Structure 1
Amino acid sequence: MGQRVVRIAMNGVTGRMGYRQHLVRSILALREQGGLDLGDGETLWPEPVLVGRREYALRELAERHGLDADAVHTDLDAVLADPSVEIYFDAQVTSAREDALGRAIAAGKHIYTEKPTAVSAKAALALAAQAEEQGVRHGVVQDKIFLPGLRKLKRLLDGGFFGQVLSVRGEFGYWVFEGDWQEAQRPSWNYRAEDGGGIVVDMFPHWEYVLAELFGRVTSVQAHTATHIPRRVDEQGRTYDATADDAAYGIFELAGPHGPIVAQINSSWAVRVNRDELVEFQVDGTEGSAVAGLRSCRVQHRASTPKPVWNPDLPVGTSFREQWQEVPDNAEYDNGFKAQWGLFLRHVARGEPYHWDLRAGARGVQLAELGLRSAAEGRRLDVPELPR
């Protein structure tokens, strides 16, 4: 059947995530491999259309990667009016996303977007309803579940390795430099609540789908937030007040298949890393435990669990880490962002099942919203199922 070209308007690719993970490691990587093989003799060829406010930056990207000059646009409405553009992708700052997504849906474009999809659960649900009414296909980036470490963890869960899962403990974060004597690794808007910043807004949507996909629906949340670094320096060297949280300590209750599961996840941009990877999840069950990171996953089965005895008067005679066994890959794992892009493009081209949609995105926004409210009110809050 040959090659089918799909033009994708990509808004926000001058940013770190939009450029590295979505443009270079996903769309351009698919082109480098000859396109996306749809089976039945047809290949889908993604053609990126770069959209943004800074034309010079977009043109530099286009030249760097050999894209046509007409692939650069600063007028979003003109791009959305182009019938040859089938998909709109958004990786802008959070505060600009809701309006752009609404305009793209109204223009009849299929939607693929970073999260959070909106600044409130009500607005995120409205976008989902608009997309469903318009009849466009829609997806939200939920990259963590495509990471090799979590895919190995899912394999253990599917194989019954844990028995009854009892608890999940997650640690995420790293030290983000303040921007004075070393350049910050994250943009300054991340630390301004008025611009949609904050680690709860950024990470709780991730934790919602990770917990729900692997263990069970989140039924309650209790969170404590902090702004540990109150003043930072922006990209222009100007000192500013951080108005958003840079750390969040959350306890979540999950509706597991065999009973409630307790999950504790610490998220921080003000922590120095003393673990093997920037994010790790420890899962403890009646039959075994596992520690999964971005790529690796280690296990300890009930039969091989040692019997430590508390005795502070004697030094520990063995390394606890050495008592765990590495889970083999047993498969080749592609970049997580690219893997999900491939599934979404198949969904658009072939109508294959795809459940990481705008309603899934709304659940993430809801959890972030309730997490911030829980922290403000100092109490545990139920997480109701979203209305359809």
Structure 2
Amino acid sequence: MKSRTLGVVMNGVTGRMGHRQHLVRSVLAINEQGGVPVAGGERVLLEPVLAGRNEARLRELCERYGLERWTTDLSGALRDPDNTIYFDAQVTSARVGAITAAIEAGKHVYTEKPLAGTLDEAVALARLAARAGVRAGVVQDKLFLPGLLKLRRLLDGGFFGRVLSVRGEFGYWVFEGDWQDAQRPSWNYRAEDGGGITLDMFCHWSYVLENLFGRVEAVTARAVTHIPERVDEAGHTYPATADDAAYGIFELAGGAIAQINSSWCVRVDREELVEFQVDGTHGSAVAGLRGCRVQHRAATPKPVWNPDLPVTHSFRDDWHQIPDNAEFDNGFKAQWEMFVRSVVAGTPFPYDFLAGARGVQLAEAGLRSSAEGRRIELPEITL
């Protein structure tokens, strides 16, 4: 079987997400399975070039995984003709300059979201990539979660009838860093470094809602900072300048309404860290990361409100789990394979920079809605 290798400059893999999901569970896992199968029976292997500023950390990762190539000279890596793809998992504030340099060097670009810190920057990157004729993609991993794939199956099968509403709950308690270490990096809570849950999660909700239920046409949101001080990785107390919770109402094309709470200041009382309840005229579903349970209208109980009597009915017993009916691969890996096929075939990538710009648009509109206390409409973005 024929095979070829593409060099991939991976910037930011010293961080948690870049390391675990993109390097180990995606790129290295792809090579372990023998590459990405493409048209003509060929398989494409990936040769990662780890880029960053921390030389010791880059060396350590290469030694751990048996890799040979690392660099603190991003410009040099981008000049190397053997490197075809540039991947970015840096902090948001460092992303625009690096992606611009990669596009100008003729590299195909795949990046974590948010694509940029502002809508203007995101649209500028989308236009630059379009003019350069390179493949440009943004990570939209939640579309590949087993729970949302099952939800997609229900939508395609007409289970819901007309979708009326979507209610989402996302989040968990992120420790402040004083008496227990925080589970997230400190830059997440500094607006000057591109932090904030609105910029982080509204980019996710944009593509989830758009791909499953309809484009977001307007938003009303409230972004808040519940915890005003946190402790960083060095043990220093710092002011939290970014929002750590956001509460949004999203009006969707087609008439459905979505309400999604996003918070790093909530203790979990649900089956998974994220859950979406979808209610339609013919049935409802609750989807999480992996599971999805449903209730058809013919099996819907008939509750009667009576606060004077104890509730004896178990409403959760009225729901039924959707079977897997398929093998679900890691969502990050699945999208990496899609992007590699797009690069090799020269075909458009569906989750492109314009989709990424719509995510930034929603986050920006959410923050503006919160600051101004009003509903914000979202015009369509064109290049």
Alignment of 1:97-136 (within 5 A): 97-136=95-134
> How far did residue 37 of structure 1 move?
1.5
Which SS does the other structure have where 1:175 is aligned? coil
> How far did residue 351 of structure 1 move?
2.9
Tell me how many residue pairs correspond in the alignment: 383
Aligned to 2:337: 342
List gaps (5 residues or longer) in structure 2: none
Q: Deviations over 1:312-369 (max 9, x none)?
A: 1211112111110000111110000000000000000123442100111000001100
Which SS does the other structure have where 2:106 is aligned? coil
> How far did residue 272 of structure 1 move?
0.2
Could you state the TM-score of these two structures normalised by the residue count of structure 1?
Answer: 0.98
CA contact (8 A) 2:176 2:230 kept: yes
User: For the residues of structure 1 that align with 2:54 and 2:240, how far apart are their CA atoms?
Assistant: 26
Query: Quick one: which amino acid aligns to residue 188 of structure 2?
Result: N
Aligned to 1:329: 324
User: For the residues of structure 2 that align with 1:365 and 1:240, how far apart are their CA atoms?
Assistant: 26
Which SS does the other structure have where 1:379 is aligned? coil
CA contact (8 A) 2:95 2:115 kept: yes
Aligned to 1:164: 162
Aligned to 1:316: 311
Pick one of 247, 250, 264 that aligns with 1:249. Answer: 247
Query: Quick one: which amino acid aligns to residue 153 of structure 1?
Result: L
Q: Deviations over 1:154-184 (max 9, x none)?
A: 1100110000000000000000000001000
Q: Is 1:22 paired with 2:22?
A: yes
Pick one of 272, 278, 281 that aligns with 2:273. Answer: 278
Q: Is 1:6 paired with 2:1?
A: no
CA contact (8 A) 2:135 2:349 kept: no
User: For the residues of structure 1 that align with 2:348 and 2:279, how far apart are their CA atoms?
Assistant: 32
Query: Quick one: which amino acid aligns to residue 225 of structure 2?
Result: T
- List 4+ stretches of structure 1 deviating above 6 A: none
List gaps (5 residues or longer) in structure 1: none
> How far did residue 381 of structure 1 move?
0.6
Aligned to 1:230: 228
Query: Quick one: which amino acid aligns to residue 335 of structure 1?
Result: N
> How far did residue 39 of structure 1 move?
4.3
User: For the residues of structure 2 that align with 1:39 and 1:99, how far apart are their CA atoms?
Assistant: 34
Query: Quick one: which amino acid aligns to residue 201 of structure 1?
Result: L
Q: Deviations over 1:224-281 (max 9, x none)?
A: 011000000000000000000000000000012xxx0110000000000000000000
Q: Is 1:93 paired with 2:88?
A: no
Pick one of 185, 188, 196 that aligns with 1:187. Answer: 185
Q: Deviations over 1:27-60 (max 9, x none)?
A: 0111111111224221100110000000110110
Query: Quick one: which amino acid aligns to residue 25 of structure 1?
Result: R
Which SS does the other structure have where 1:178 is aligned? coil
> How far did residue 114 of structure 1 move?
0.4
Which SS does the other structure have where 1:40 is aligned? helix
Pick one of 357, 372, 378 that aligns with 1:377. Answer: 372
User: For the residues of structure 1 that align with 2:39 and 2:320, how far apart are their CA atoms?
Assistant: 38
Instruction: Report percent identity of matched pairs.
Output: 70
User: For the residues of structure 1 that align with 2:347 and 2:372, how far apart are their CA atoms?
Assistant: 43
User: For the residues of structure 1 that align with 2:47 and 2:131, how far apart are their CA atoms?
Assistant: 27
User: For the residues of structure 2 that align with 1:37 and 1:262, how far apart are their CA atoms?
Assistant: 40
Aligned to 2:148: 150
Query: Quick one: which amino acid aligns to residue 40 of structure 2?
Result: D
User: For the residues of structure 1 that align with 2:50 and 2:98, how far apart are their CA atoms?
Assistant: 14
Q: RMSD between aligned alpha carbons?
A: 0.8
Which SS does the other structure have where 2:206 is aligned? helix
Q: Deviations over 1:52-85 (max 9, x none)?
A: 00011011001100111xx110000000010110
Aligned to 1:47: 47
> How far did residue 387 of structure 1 move?
2.3
CA contact (8 A) 2:135 2:348 kept: no
Tell me which moved more, 317-326 or 13-22: 317-326
CA contact (8 A) 2:294 2:321 kept: yes
User: For the residues of structure 2 that align with 1:152 and 1:162, how far apart are their CA atoms?
Assistant: 13
Could you state the TM-score of these two structures normalised by the residue count of structure 2?
Answer: 0.99
Aligned to 1:206: 204
User: For the residues of structure 2 that align with 1:40 and 1:101, how far apart are their CA atoms?
Assistant: 31
User: For the residues of structure 2 that align with 1:117 and 1:225, how far apart are their CA atoms?
Assistant: 20
Query: Quick one: which amino acid aligns to residue 351 of structure 2?
Result: W
Which SS does the other structure have where 1:318 is aligned? coil
Pick one of 279, 289, 296 that aligns with 1:294. Answer: 289
